[in-house]
Amino acid sequence: MRARSLLIAIALAAFLFRIAALIGAGGPLGATSSYDDGVYFSASALWLRGVIPYRDFVFVHPPGILWFLGLISWLPDPAQAFSAARVLACAAGGVNTLLVGLIVMRAAGPFGGIVAAALYAIYPDAMTAERSAYLEPFLNLACLSSMYFWLEENRSGARLRRAFLSGFLSGVACAVKLWGGIWVIAAAFALDRKRYPRFLAGAVFAGLLLVLPLAAPAMNEFISQTLRFQFSRPPDGTLDFATRLREIFTSGHIATSVLALIGFFAVMKLRERVFAIAMLLTIIGFLASSSYWTQYNAHLAASQCVLAGFGAAALSNRRTIVIALIVLTQAWPFTREMRNAIRSRSTELLTFAQTSVPAFAFDPTWTLAMHRLPPHGDGAPVIVDSYGVMLREAARAGRFRDTTSAFQSPAPQPAILARLAASNYVLLGWRGPWQMNARDRAWFASHFECTNPEAGELCVWKRRAQPLANAPSIEDQTIRFLDGWYAIEGTPPDTWRWMSRRSVMQLPPVNGIAHLHLQFEGNATLTFSLDGHPIERADDIEIAGNTPHTLVITADRVFVPARVQRRSRDQRELSVRLKRIAWNAGVPAG
């Protein structure tokens, strides 16, 4: 009883570890995002509003995630609903932690269960994924729930309906992500022949129940988008085999990997070998896949932490060694992950939360932050996942050595140009210039103008009244912070950007006269030069000329935070903070 209470406490702690990143400035919307969560949530919200995936827009994943996020995505304000989905993912992380502990405790005893739950609670990639609307929180929830009932069925001799329920939950996992199929295969080698047919029947039933209603309206497209594309997409992410292997085993979870290896051999003669097979197949899948990012390890955590619990149980007479291994190898990565998660805030999302225009965004999380869903119902193509749409078109045209070369080919460009041509406002970010080739970047620059050059990559682009021949490039239409500038810090509207001793800023060309207003904070004395000529006024810099301009700012003194504050690890050379920047274009000359 005490062990179960401790497991519940660890699960609650796991939930708190995850949600801690959501309670800083700006709330859940202020937590960092990485594109994919915006895709999944937007797809779910559009589906509940009658815009059907596969038929009305490209969605390169099975539809299971849409059902999970549908618990939240029906809310009328997309920004608030997206924030709520992030909290839901944190809750899933807490439940996953509890399931890992219960599975190991039932099979190998309290010590192993407690170690397994603790390792999952602090597993860096699981912590990251279970802070937003990604696939892995719900994929792991389905897989671990399936194995919980599967193990109970084997241990307690419950009726065959438990095999069906376990299979059903594995089918749910497959409906969330194709990696769920690994557990169906693993079960085939660990479940006796009398019960596996029931297990398989449950998996098939779940697939029909969750997949068929969304796939049926466009079955050919469903197969093309979720299967053909995934097996023909160009390589992306970490491509080097050795680097992948190292990241799979050492990305902040060395103790888990070591204990899981011990557990792998400890369970080979037991029914729990399903976890050993699942981990082995997951690692092989990661190494063989055309794409891999360390966030994939969030799903590896499901099998690896269970096996680590088995490994800890096998070493239960050497508990001091187990605890020392965990503390020495995973305490610092956990501390670093927590600190970064709490301190890091999404400047982009919080900036766009203060703006609301009917814009198409290459990153759908930006649209959500603006309290909107991706444009739909205007007769133009609905694009939720610009990355997936364009890669799919490239994959249909041929094979490419990597994603960048695929984007630069002509094949994927028409898919995005049709959406851009129908949009009055566009948010490019860094993805837009990367995903468009040179010809289409030139087309965009001639048809759209940056309304706020001082925002840089966060510029809101507005359609020009008339296309402009020989327009400045996309890069030349924004203010670019080059050498000597650091990233934006703080929470909008109270943000700043540190500069070092000498900083360079590229200013866009103007057809007439523009004024740049800069407000600095700090003790250093600054000198300015524009295009190589010294200027005196820093608060109002006049710009003229139809070519890009270079502004160089030099400070007479700098400091290193680590020398000022003993506990600081910040080794940057800093001078002053740029607190405010404004760009005001004047009337044409003459």
CATH of the domain at 502: 2.60.120
Whether residue 424 is found in the same domain as residue 483: no
Same domain, 96 and 21: yes
In a domain, 319, yes or no: no
| Residue 241 belongs to a domain | no
Tokens encoding 178: 């194709």
57 in a structural domain:
no
On the question of pLDDT at 554 being above 60, the answer is yes
Question: Domain end: 420, 444, 476, which one?
Answer: 476
Q: What is the mean pLDDT of residues 453-465?
A: 91
Q: Are residues 406 and 515 in the same domain?
A: no
CA distance 570 to 568: 5
Query: Is pLDDT at 61 greater than 80 in this prediction?
Result: yes
Global pTM reads 0.92
* Best-predicted range by mean pLDDT (100-114, 537-551, 568-582): 100-114
Number of folded domains that form the chain:
3
CA dihedral angle for residue 434, residue 437, residue 442, residue 447, rounded to 10 degrees: -70
Handedness of CA 37, 42, 48, 51 (dihedral sign): negative
Residue 224: enclosing H or E segment and its boundaries?
none
Q: Do residues 338 and 368 both lie within one domain?
A: no
Question: Span 115-127, mean pLDDT?
Answer: 96
pLDDT of residue 203: 95
Same domain for 68 and 217, yes or no, is: yes
37 occurs within a structural domain: no
Do 463 and 545 have their domain in common?
Answer: no
Last residue of a domain, one of 314, 342, 370: 342
Residue 359 included in any domain: yes
Tens of pLDDT, residues 415-443: 899 999 999 999 999 999 999 999 999 99
Q: Read off the pLDDT of residues 82-111 as tens digits, 9 standing for 90 and up.
A: 999 999 999 999 999 999 999 999 988 999
- The DSSP string of 84-152 is HHHHHHHHHHHHHHHHHHHHHHHHH-HHHHHHHHHHHHT-HHHHHHTTTT-SHHHHHHHHHHHHHHHHH
Point out the domain boundary residue: 311, 342, 373: 342
Do residue 105 and residue 224 come from a single domain? yes
Whether residue 87 sits in one domain with residue 223: yes
For residues 228 and 325, give the distance between their C-alpha atoms in angstroms, rounded to a whole number: 43
Same domain, 212 and 173: yes
Q: Which residue has the higher pLDDT, 493 or 78?
A: 78
Q: Quick check: 153 pLDDT over 70?
A: no
| Residue corresponding to tokens 């369970």 | 267
pLDDT at 357 over 90: no
Same domain, 502 and 436: no
Query: What angle, 0 to 180 degrees and rounded to 10, lies between the N-to-C axes of helices 161-176 and 196-215?
Result: 40
Q: What is the pLDDT of residues 313-347, one digit of tens each?
A: 999 888 888 888 888 889 898 888 888 888 887 88
Measured between alpha carbons, how far is 9 from 484 in angstroms, rounded to an integer?
A: 47
Do residues 468 and 520 both lie within one domain? no
Instruction: With respect to residue 363, please indicate whether it lies within any of the assigned structural domains.
Output: yes
CA torsion sign for 203, 207, 208, 209 is positive
**Which residue in this structure is represented by tokens 């997949």?**
211
- Residue 161 pLDDT greater than 80, yes or no: no
Residues 86 and 205 in one domain: yes
Q: What is the mean pLDDT of the chain?
A: 90
The domain containing residue 577 runs over which residues? 479-590
How far from chain centre, in Å, is Cα 587? Answer: 43
